[in-house]
Amino acid sequence: MNADLERLIALQKLDNTADAARKQLASEPDHERALEARLEAARQEVAAAKDRVAVNKSARAALEKDVAVQQGRLSKFREQAMAVKTNQEYHAIQHEITFAQTEVKKIEDSILVASLKAAEGKLAAETKAVDADRKTMKTAHSEMEAALERIVAERSSLVGSLDKHVLTTFEAVSRKRNGVAVAEARDGICTICHVRLRPQVFNTVRRNDQIVQCDSCNRILFFVPVKTAAAAADAPQPAS
Ligand SMILES: [Zn+2]
C-alpha cells in the first residue's frame, strides 16, 4: 500500500477516536444535570411524604386533645354527682368522645409512615446509583483525557511524516466533510457518500498505490482486499 495512504487511514482513525472522545466529554455537563435531576426528584418525594406525615400528626394531635377535653368534662360530671340530673348532657359528651376516638383511629398514620419509608428507600437507592454513575463518568473522563493526549502526540508524528500536498488535501476535505476525509471503496461504491465510482477510478483505488479522491464527496479512497478463502472461513460470518 502507498505509505501516505496508509498514514491517512491511521490519521483518520485517530481523528474519529478523538472526535468521539471530545463529543463524550462535551456531553458530561448534560449527563451530570440529568443525574442531579434524578436525585432532586427522589428528594422531593421524601419531602412530600414527610409533609403528609406531619400534617396527619397535627390533625391527630388536635383530635386527641379534643378527646382529653371531653373526658375531663365527663369526670367533672361524675365528681359533682350531676349525672342523673343532666343525663342528656352526659350522654352527649360520651357521644362526642366516641366520635373523636373513632376519628383518631381513622387518621392512623401507618400507611403514610410506610410511604415515607419507601420514599427514603428510593432516595437511598438513587443516591447509590448516581454515585456509581458519577464514578464511572470520572474514570471515563480521565481515560478520554489520556487518550486525547496520546492521539495528539501520535497525530503530530503521523502528520510530520506525510507528504505536504497529501496533508493539505486531507485537511481541506476533513474541514469540508465534518472531520471524515477518508472513505473505504467497496463493490465499486464510496461507502460514505454511496456514489458509484467510475470503473477505472475503482480499479485504481483497488491497487491502493496512489491517492485517489471520490468524484462526488472528494474523500480519499482506499480498498480493503477480500480475504483469502482460508481466512474467510476462519472469520465469523455476518448474519446477512
Ligand atoms: Zn464519496
Backbone CA torsion sign across 229, 235, 236, 240: negative
Band of the pLDDT at 60, cuts 50, 70, 90? confident
* Ligand 1: centre distance to CA 205 (Å): 12
Instruction: Show the cell assigned to 134.
Output: 458519577
Output DSSP code: residue 196: B
* Ligand 1: centre distance to CA 229 (Å): 29
Band of the pLDDT at 202, cuts 50, 70, 90? very high
* Ligand 1: centre distance to CA 231 (Å): 29
Q: Look at residue 239 in the predicted model and tell me its pLDDT.
A: 47
Please state the rounded mean pLDDT for residues 121-150: 97
Please state the rounded mean pLDDT for residues 147-160: 96
Residue, of 95 and 212, whose pLDDT is higher: 212
The upper half-sphere exposure of residue 34, i.e. CA atoms within 13 Å in the direction of its Cβ, equals 9
Of all residues in the chain, the percent with pLDDT exceeding 70 is 89
* Ligand 1: centre distance to CA 204 (Å): 15
Q: Look at residue 240 in the predicted model and tell me its pLDDT.
A: 45
Q: What is the pTM of this model?
A: 0.71
* Ligand 1: centre distance to CA 194 (Å): 6
Integer CA distances (angstroms), 188 to 119, 197, 201, 221, in order:
61, 6, 9, 11
* Ligand 1: centre distance to CA 4 (Å): 19
* Ligand 1: centre distance to CA 222 (Å): 11
* Ligand 1: centre distance to CA 181 (Å): 10
CB 176 within 8 A of CB 213: no
* Ligand 1: centre distance to CA 209 (Å): 18
Does 7 score more than 90 pLDDT?
yes
The values of phi and psi at residue 236, to 5°, are -65, 135
Band of the pLDDT at 234, cuts 50, 70, 90? low
Give the three-state DSSP class for 222. strand
Mean pLDDT (the chain) is: 88
Q: Look at residue 74 in the predicted model and tell me its pLDDT.
A: 72
Residue, of 138 and 88, whose pLDDT is higher: 138
Residue, of 118 and 94, whose pLDDT is higher: 118
Give the model confidence (pLDDT) of 97-119 as tens digits.
787 777 777 766 778 888 899 99
Min mean pLDDT across 52-56, 63-67, 80-84 is at 80-84
* Ligand 1: centre distance to CA 220 (Å): 8
* Ligand 1: centre distance to CA 147 (Å): 29
Distance CA 37, CA 212 (A): 51
Output DSSP code: residue 219: P
Distance CA 121, CA 136 (A): 23
Does 57 score more than 70 pLDDT?
yes
